[in-house]
Chains A and B, each alone.
Chain A
Amino acid sequence: MATAETAEQMETRKPVNDVLVTGGRTFSEVNEDVARPLENFPTGRWWVCFIAAMAAFFMGAVLLLKTFKDGVGVWGLNQPIGWGNDVTTFVFWVGIGHAGTLISAILFLFRQKWRTGINRSAEAMTIFAVMTAGMVILTHTGRTWLAAFWLLPYPNQRQLWPNFRSPLEWDVFAVSTYFTISLIFWYMGLVPDIASIRDRAKNKIRKFALTILSLGWRGSNRHWVHYEQAYLIFAGLSTPLVLSVHSVVSFDFAVSQLPGWHTTIFPPYFVAGAIFSGFAMVVTLLVLAREAFGLKHYITMDHLEKMNKIIMTTGMLVGYAYGVEFFIAWYSGSAFEQFTFINRAFGPYWWSYWIMVSCNVLIPQLFWVKRFRRSIPVMFVVSLYVNIGMYFERFVIIVTSLHRDFLPSSWATYVPSWVELGMFTGWIGFFFIWFLLFVRFLPAIAMGEVKSVMDQPSKGASHA
């Protein structure tokens, strides 16, 4: 009680002229705003979303069991086309999982203060996306129950080891490392904020849980010194990591010899694509979140506009990559390469190629116009298109390269089965379950960091 009172007394209104947090919020108001969704019973909208996500996930789970029971034959895959919607989905989610760490790490190193409003939820998104991707790639194998541990190099009596030359094995390490580091990074960032909501928690159980989670954080400056140092190092580690992960994922294709996969441009091309899709997903989610939880003051239009600029830039980067692929195919003089790319654009799967181009390259061009960059509906729709486009980018790369390769005799086509599509929906549900639980139980805004970039109360201003 005493606490609350002091908080009341200490409340001071000051004229503010800041950009990063609008509406002249004070420190304590930050806590109020961020903690509100956590301390009240979830809204109807939240429940609708959550139940929908659960339903989708349940359907996916049932179909996954069917796959386990009958074999991956229930999917549309066939002889030349060993990968289809399954690996497409994997790359899709891994890609989305890149924005978070990028925002929290690279923008941190570049001292981009505006990141503070969005990095927490972006990181959460990263972690859940990578979780989803991991599940997808694990269950795409013919014998998941074995893949689950044979892919790990655990010491065993028979001295069997994985093949460290295989890009898939690199994936195992890249994705799991990325997940672990992102998770720790995210949790570390959470500790002071958990402490904040802990100190306002009324409910005993909640307070207990939060106390444990906060590791007993007291805001001591001795701690802050180590904490800040560690945070900086994490940013330093994550930056090359985030770049490496999608490079490794791109190796899954670049290291093979298949025309359309065997391409040196893939690592940067994939990373750009990942940032592209990641930011698109962040925009999609934050536009919803700031509406739902009244976080307009923290996730400001400026933030969104900056992200839209990045979306447009990376969109043009991938567009450039699309072009270069064609140029190199022609320049290489390899009949196989040339055929593959012509077949991409004008073969049986031409539609997927042009969906990709229009969603990823053309539509983001809207953001040249400031009005569109700052319009919530426009950016929401565009971000959705980008998500779709990036799914099809992976589909194009994987399927169109596989379905017509070296020997014309073995050409075939691939149509995803309803089971695959159902599972795809299921994975989306899986992702949103986690995300919704996150916004419900943990501070979606990095309060500590926001406060540090807010306009600081100063002597002169106090008691004015």
Chain B
Amino acid sequence: MHNEKKEPVLSGVVGFFDEPDSLIEATAKVRDSTFKHFDCFTPYAVHGLEHAQGLPRSKVPYVTGIFAFTGTATAFAWQYAASKVWWPHIIGGKPMNSLPAFVPIIFELSVLFGGIATFFAMLAFNRLPNLRKRAFDPAITNNRFAILIENPNAGKDEEEGQEAFHPDQAEQFLKSLGAKDVRKVFEEGWFS
């Protein structure tokens, strides 16, 4: 699979850890180092790692909120229009706009809209589904923790200003942090 690619793009240098706590320590060091572009890879959500990595808080909740409220509004407007404007009927001596009876659907629709939005927001923020970047090591979804110091020029054309990036320095640095199996990884798609 690897050798089919003609000129593999260097996506970065990876170093592996076996324990979450050593990963967190290392990550903090990387964060404070000169390597600005890096990411961690873990089999599960390691708590505290996001701080070590200095990631901002997720924006997903805002999306959820907006869509949930849209759901609320839609549900009410819809029921009101259907029962009072579009197809008014005398039902059981109740007023055309029987608001209390509309509440359950209003609630359900808010949840529905909010929930669906949440999922797709999550995918969007993560640029998933993504078939261009394959996991560079199966152990990551199994039992190993990795730091990837990324090649800032990966995926950029020559024309654009190239940042300075020295894989060897990165390797040294990772080794110095106690990472095992430090190695270069090249960009690969899932089916390429």
The answer to whether A and B belong to the same complex is yes
Interface string of A186-221 (1 = CB under 8 A from B): 001000100110111000000010011001111111
How many interface residues does A have (CB within 8 Å)?
72
Q: Which of A169, A208, A447, A458 contacts B105 (CB 8 A)?
A: A169
Contacts A/B (CB < 8 Å), 9 sampled: A7-B143, A10-B144, A28-B142, A161-B82, A162-B82, A221-B49, A225-B55, A230-B122, A233-B118
The DSSP consensus for interface residues of chain A is helix
Q: Is B10 an interface residue (CB 8 A)?
A: no
Chain B 77-100, CB within 8 Å of chain A: the 1/0 string? 011001100110101101000100
Interface residues of B in 18-63 (CB under 8 A from A): 18-22, 39-47, 49-50, 53, 55, 57-58, 60-61
- Return A254 CB to nearest CB of chain B, in Å: 12
Given A161-B87, A173-B105, A192-B141: A221 in contact with B39 (beta carbons within 8 A): yes
* Chain B residues in 8 Å Cβ range of A165: 83, 91-92, 94, 98, 101
Min CB–CB distance A16 → chain B (angstroms): 14
Measured in the bound complex, the distance between the Cα atoms of B146 and A10 in whole Å is 13
Q: Which residues of B contact A (CB under 8 A)?
A: 18-22, 39-47, 49-50, 53, 55, 57-58, 60-61, 64, 68, 78-79, 82-83, 86-87, 89, 91-92, 94, 98, 101-102, 104-105, 107-109, 111-112, 114-116, 118-119, 121-123, 125-126, 128-131, 133-144, 181, 190-191
**Given the interface contacts A7-B143, A165-B98, A211-B190, does A222 sit within 8 Å of B55 by beta carbon?**
yes
For A6, A198, A240, which residue has the most chain B Cβ atoms within 10 angstroms?
Answer: A6
Given contacts A217-B135, A218-B136, 16 further A-B contacts (CB under 8 A): A165-B83, A165-B92, A211-B131, A218-B41, A219-B141, A221-B50, A226-B122, A226-B125, A230-B122, A234-B118, A234-B119, A241-B108, A251-B104, A448-B43, A457-B20, A458-B19
Q: CB distance B43 to A233 under 8 Å? A: no
Q: Nearest A residue to B80 by beta-carbon distance?
A: A164
Residue in B79, B83, B115 whose CB lies within 8 Å of A237: B115
Assembly CA distance A215 to B190 (angstroms): 10
User: Known: A219-B41, A462-B18. Is A10-B130 also a contact (CB below 8 A)?
Assistant: no
User: Closest residue to A31 on the B side, CB-wise?
Assistant: B142
Collect the chain B residues with CB atoms within 8 Å of residue A28's CB.
142-143
**One of A177-185, A352-360, A386-394 contacting the partner:** A177-185
A244 touches B107 (CB 8 A): yes
Check if A159 is an interface residue, CB within 8 A of chain B: yes
Contact with B along A438-463 (1 / 0, CB 8 A): 00000000011101100011110110
Q: Which residues on B sit within 8 Å (CB–CB) of A188?
A: 119, 122
Contact A196–B43 (Cβ < 8 Å): yes
Q: In the assembled complex, which residues on chain B have CB atoms less than 8 Å from the CB atom of A225? A: 50, 55, 58
Contact A224 B60 (CB under 8 A): no
Most A CB contacts (10 A, CB to CB) among B91, B129, B143 go to B143
Q: Residue B115 contacts which of A161, A181, A451 (CB distance < 8 angstroms)?
A: A181
Q: Within the complex, which residue of B42, B47, B86, B111 is in contact with A219, where a contact is CB–CB below 8 Å?
A: B42
What residues of chain B lie closer than 8 Å to A222, measured between beta carbons? 39, 55, 126
Known: A218-B140, A222-B39, A452-B45. A180 touches B53 (CB 8 A): no
The digit string for A1-28, where 1 denotes a CB below 8 A from any CB of B, is 0010011001010000000000000111
A interface residues with partner B (beta carbon < 8 Å): 3, 6-7, 10, 12, 26-28, 31, 153, 159-165, 169-170, 173-174, 177, 180-181, 184-185, 188, 192, 195-196, 198-200, 208, 211-212, 215-230, 233-234, 237-238, 240-241, 244, 248, 251, 447-449, 451-452, 456-459, 461-462
Contact B123–A215 (Cβ < 8 Å): yes
**Closest 6 pairs (CB-CB, A-B):** A27-B143, A199-B138, A229-B58, A215-B129, A161-B82, A230-B122
Are the CB atoms of B119 and A241 closer together than 8 Å? no
Report chain A residues within 8 Å CB of B119: 184, 188, 230, 234
Q: A12-B18, A216-B190 are in contact. Are A223 and B143 (CB under 8 A)?
A: no
